[in-house]
């Protein structure tokens, strides 16, 4: 029987789980892959018991050295970060004729096109199913299952940490800071959470999906991103009163700037019901119409599942272009405008004075923004109150200009929040 030798660089939560399954479930994987999968080398910051036997497995203090070994067929990169050792290892492994499997979405988002070219030039495979949405086969579905489709729209809840925080805020009425602290205590959020809550992690994943969906060179820098730090329990409450929930959505369409931002979506939609740390990815295209896939987007088991699926594909001899097409045929992104979100939710704090409402609506009118509905909460002498509007369909540029004008008014206290209301998701 064919044998495939594997090295893992990075034995954190995911790397340790991949190694344990390779060692402890070898017979089942052999039947699945049609080949014997041998873990022959690992690299990590320190040697310690990780739940599998190191018998017959060599330990490399220098992860980069794995690229030069003749007894390795597949290098699994689970180090993280877009530069440094991870990039050097993947680049050199491909050049030396080794296949590469990675869960590193930052690496793929920043260097995916270069690595795809390198893989093709050296007749090797670059696989990164685990880089997007964990256990959901979002890339395989898009790249292979939907390969005959003209993809109109990609929409996703791509960060489990943000989805957990927003779900808890919705269900309990607690503040962002309170729920974030709980998420950190439970291990859903890092001690320094910017990568998640500021939308960077989701933007990496969206850039990958957009490149595959539209046959384009990956362009992370084109993704417009906003996180959830400014979403308050007050916004969650207003959204509920209006029949919506707030979700951090990544959205990509042909000829449009990909965006990651908090949005209002109707409570009765499928995406609105994706709660907790789950991820979801929806594709709309022709002739398939629409597909929604959901599941755990992070963690040892789901991510290891995706890594092992890539290893099994390689062992079976399955061949696929990393971005669905030969790298030389990938187009420069023809981006013309942001996705037109249509209607908007606007929330501001204003002094409760006579004439304020008239001034606000006049400024909105002067920027060609038509008000659909208005809500006001709180009333106290000389204390600011929350004022919320939903608008009819309008251009993002008009909303931005109106917010800038309103921010200059003396009766406005604090920042103005503008969120798109997403239709038909």
CATH number of the structural domain spanning residue 37: 3.40.50.720
Task: Give the DSSP letter of residue 149.
Answer: S
- On whether both 188 and 279 belong to a single domain, the answer is yes
Domain boundary among 318, 338, 358: 338
Residue 98 a catalytic site member: no
Per the CB < 8 A criterion, the answer to whether 245 and 419 are in contact is no
- On whether both 286 and 147 belong to a single domain, the answer is yes
pLDDT: which is higher, 53 or 183:
183
> Closest by alpha carbon to 278, among 422, 424, 158?
158
Which tens digits make up the pLDDT trace of 344-393?
999 999 988 888 999 999 999 999 999 999 998 766 666 788 999 999 99
pLDDT: which is higher, 235 or 56:
235
Please count the structural domains in the chain: 3
Task: Report pLDDT for 336.
Answer: 59
pLDDT band at 137 (very low <50, low <70, confident <90, very high): very high
Per the CB < 8 A criterion, the answer to whether 330 and 215 are in contact is yes
Kindly report the average pLDDT of the chain as a whole number. Answer: 93
Given the residues 98, 105, 205, 247, the one annotated as active site: 205
Asked if residue 309 belongs to a domain, the reply is: yes
With 70 as the cut, is the pLDDT of residue 196 above it? yes
- On whether both 278 and 217 belong to a single domain, the answer is yes
CATH number of the structural domain spanning residue 193: 3.30.360.10
Helix (H, G, I), strand (E, B) or coil at 331: strand
Segment 72-100 shows an average pLDDT of: 96
CATH number of the structural domain spanning residue 389: 3.30.70.260
Domain that holds residue 109: 3-131+303-326
- On whether both 289 and 174 belong to a single domain, the answer is yes
Task: Report pLDDT for 187.
Answer: 81
> Closest by alpha carbon to 46, among 72, 12, 77?
12
- On whether both 270 and 384 belong to a single domain, the answer is no
Task: Report pLDDT for 405.
Answer: 95
With 60 as the cut, is the pLDDT of residue 339 above it? no
The encoded tokens of residue 425 equal 């998701």
Asked if residue 173 belongs to a domain, the reply is: yes
- On whether both 253 and 384 belong to a single domain, the answer is no
Per the CB < 8 A criterion, the answer to whether 272 and 263 are in contact is no
- The rounded percent of the chain whose pLDDT value lies above 70 is 96
Cβ partners under 8 Å of residue 354, min gap 6: none
Q: What is the number of residues in the chain?
A: 425
Which tens digits make up the pLDDT trace of 6-24?
999 999 989 999 999 999 9
- On whether both 116 and 144 belong to a single domain, the answer is no
- On whether both 159 and 118 belong to a single domain, the answer is no
DSSP assignment of 203-231: HHHHHHHHHHHHTB---GGG-EE--STT-
- On whether both 293 and 307 belong to a single domain, the answer is no
Model's pTM, two decimal places? 0.94
pLDDT band at 262 (very low <50, low <70, confident <90, very high): very high
- On whether both 150 and 267 belong to a single domain, the answer is yes
Asked if residue 425 belongs to a domain, the reply is: no
pLDDT band at 423 (very low <50, low <70, confident <90, very high): confident
- On whether both 292 and 151 belong to a single domain, the answer is yes
> CA–CA separation, 12 vs 16, rounded Å?
6
With 60 as the cut, is the pLDDT of residue 338 above it? no
> CA–CA separation, 412 vs 409, rounded Å?
6
The encoded tokens of residue 228 equal 């959830």
- On whether both 274 and 406 belong to a single domain, the answer is no
Cβ partners under 8 Å of residue 237, min gap 6: 173
Task: Report pLDDT for 329.
Answer: 93
> CA–CA separation, 313 vs 302, rounded Å?
17
């Amino acid at each position: 029987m064919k044998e495939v030798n594997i090295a893992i660089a990075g034995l954190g939560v995911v790397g340790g789980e991949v190694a344990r399954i390779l060692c402890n479930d070898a017979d089942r994987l052999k039947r699945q892959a049609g080949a014997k999968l041998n873990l022959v080398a690992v690299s990590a910051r320190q040697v310690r018991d990780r739940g599998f036997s190191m018998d017959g497995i060599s330990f490399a203090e220098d992860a980069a050295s794995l690229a030069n070994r003749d007894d390795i067929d597949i290098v699994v990169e689970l180090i993280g970060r877009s530069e440094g050792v991870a990039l050097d290892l993947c680049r050199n492994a491909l050049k030396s004729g080794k296949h590469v499997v990675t869960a590193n979405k930052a690496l793929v988002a920043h260097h995916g096109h270069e690595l795809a070219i390198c893989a093709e030039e050296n007749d090797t495979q670059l696989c990164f199913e685990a880089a997007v949405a964990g256990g959901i086969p979002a890339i395989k579905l898009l790249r292979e299952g939907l390969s005959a489709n003209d993809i109109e729209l990609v929409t996703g809840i791509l960060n489990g940490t943000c989805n957990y925080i927003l779900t808890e805020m919705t269900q309990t009425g607690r503040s962002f800071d309170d729920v974030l602290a709980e998420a950190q205590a439970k291990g859903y959020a890092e001690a320094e959470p910017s990568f998640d809550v500021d939308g960077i992690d989701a933007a990496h994943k969206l850039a990958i999906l957009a490149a595959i969906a539209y046959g384009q060179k990956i362009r992370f820098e084109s993704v417009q991103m906003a996180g959830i730090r400014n979403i308050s329990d007050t916004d969650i409450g207003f959204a509920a009163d209006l029949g919506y929930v707030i979700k951090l959505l990544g959205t990509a369409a042909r000829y449009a700037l990909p965006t990651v931002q908090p949005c209002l979506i109707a409570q009765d939609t499928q995406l609105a019901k994706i709660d907790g740390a789950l991820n979801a990815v929806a594709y709309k295209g022709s002739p398939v119409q629409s597909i929604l896939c959901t599941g755990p987007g992070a963690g040892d088991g789901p991510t290891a599942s995706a890594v092992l699926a890539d290893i099994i594909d390689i062992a079976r001899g399955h061949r696929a272009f990393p971005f669905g097409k030969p790298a030389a045929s990938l187009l420069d992104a023809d981006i013309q405008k942001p996705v037109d979100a249509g209607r908007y939710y606007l929330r501001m704090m204003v002094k409760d004075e006579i004439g304020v409402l008239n001034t606000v609506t006049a400024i909105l009118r002067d920027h060609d923004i038509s008000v659909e509905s208005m809500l006001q909460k709180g009333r106290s002498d000389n204390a600011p109150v929350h004022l919320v509007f939903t608008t009819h369909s309008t251009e993002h540029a008009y909303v931005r200009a109106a917010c800038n004008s309103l921010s200059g008014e003396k009766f406005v206290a604090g920042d103005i929040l503008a969120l798109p209301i997403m239709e038909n998701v």
